Amino acid sequence: MPSFWFLQLLAQTGFTANQQQGILDLVRGSGPIVQGVLYTLILFSVVSWGIIFYKYRQIRAAKGESERFREIFWESRNLASIHDASRELKLGPVAQVFRAGYEELLRITHSKKESAHGEGLTTELGGVDNVARAMKRATSMEITKLEKSLTFLATTASTTPFIGLFGTVWGIMNAFRGLSVTHSSSIQAVAPGIAEALIATAAGLAAAIPALMAYNHFVQRIKVLTADMDNFSHDFLNIAERHFLK
């Protein structure tokens, strides 16, 4: 939980509005609006870190299984055995794109055999276009899986600083409002309230920065996997057109 970590770090480094009042004490003593903002930011941070760990494992597994499948594909000359191997690599997007193209290729060749033997009419459009459409559809589905939950990271990165800023503005308003009803006009009178308010901004940045960095990293990794799927699709279509769809 980066928000609590950030607050504890500030407390350990001696950043206090009052020497007798720590950061965590300021959080507990803040008003309900500021506390609500802090709890909201902590919730955003916890969920975003959960997504970060999940997406890291997912994309790492997708990359590893895709590389393993490409090795199997280029080392083996039997498409049936390659198809069987692809069933075990369910997290590899390249393997799933191959399965979609191979199964569509089987349907086309089977339909052509039936048509050649006069076993009835076929509705297949035939040719490499069918296989290309099947692989493109599979690519889109795999990209959707990889991009799932990234929207929350983008939302966290873009909104939590403003949520923290709202808490800061609200806390400063309350601090100056309290100053107007007191007999003292020294900085000591408003320092605790301003310190409480600034904690909200710090918590918002602590939630936003990791989410933004992770989002940019995952988007780049997904672009690489998308390029791998597109390149493999072109290679497989060339093989299919050369050997099966003459």
Return the amino acid letter for 104: E
Q: How far apart (Å, rounded) are the C-alpha atoms in residues 99 and 101?
A: 5
Report the predicted TM-score, pTM, of the whole model to 2 decimal places.
0.77
Strand partners, 21: 18
47-52, Cβ contacts within 8 angstroms, sequence gap of 24 or more: 47/152, 47/156, 48/152, 48/153, 48/156, 48/207, 48/210, 48/211, 48/214, 49/1, 49/2, 49/210, 51/149, 51/150, 51/152, 51/153, 51/214, 52/153, 52/210, 52/211, 52/214
Helix (H, G, I), strand (E, B) or coil at 18: strand
Q: How far apart (Å, rounded) are the C-alpha atoms in residues 81 and 100?
A: 15
The DSSP letter of residue 66 is H
Cβ atoms 55, 71 nearer than 8 A: no
How many angstroms separate the first and last alpha carbons of the chain? 59
Q: How far apart (Å, rounded) are the C-alpha atoms in residues 47 and 202?
A: 18
Q: How far apart (Å, rounded) are the C-alpha atoms in residues 217 and 53?
A: 13
Q: How far apart (Å, rounded) are the C-alpha atoms in residues 126 and 104?
A: 10
DSSP element (H, E) containing 28:
helix 23-29
Q: How far apart (Å, rounded) are the C-alpha atoms in residues 166 and 124?
A: 60
Instruction: Give residue 227's pLDDT.
Output: 95
Q: List the chain pLDDT tens, one digit each, 246 residues.
A: 444 444 454 444 444 434 334 666 666 666 778 788 888 999 999 999 999 999 999 999 999 999 999 999 988 878 888 888 888 888 899 999 999 998 888 888 777 766 655 544 344 445 678 888 999 999 999 999 999 999 999 999 999 999 989 888 887 777 676 666 555 555 555 566 676 778 888 889 999 999 999 999 999 999 999 999 999 999 998 888 877 666
CA angle 220, 93, 150 (to 5 degrees): 40
Where exactly are the structural domains of the chain? 22-243
Q: How far apart (Å, rounded) are the C-alpha atoms in residues 183 and 54?
A: 54
Burial pattern 177-192, b for ≥16 Cβ within 10 A else e, equals eeeeeeeeeeeeebeb
Cβ-Cβ contacts under 8 Å for 47 (sequence gap 6 or more): 152, 156
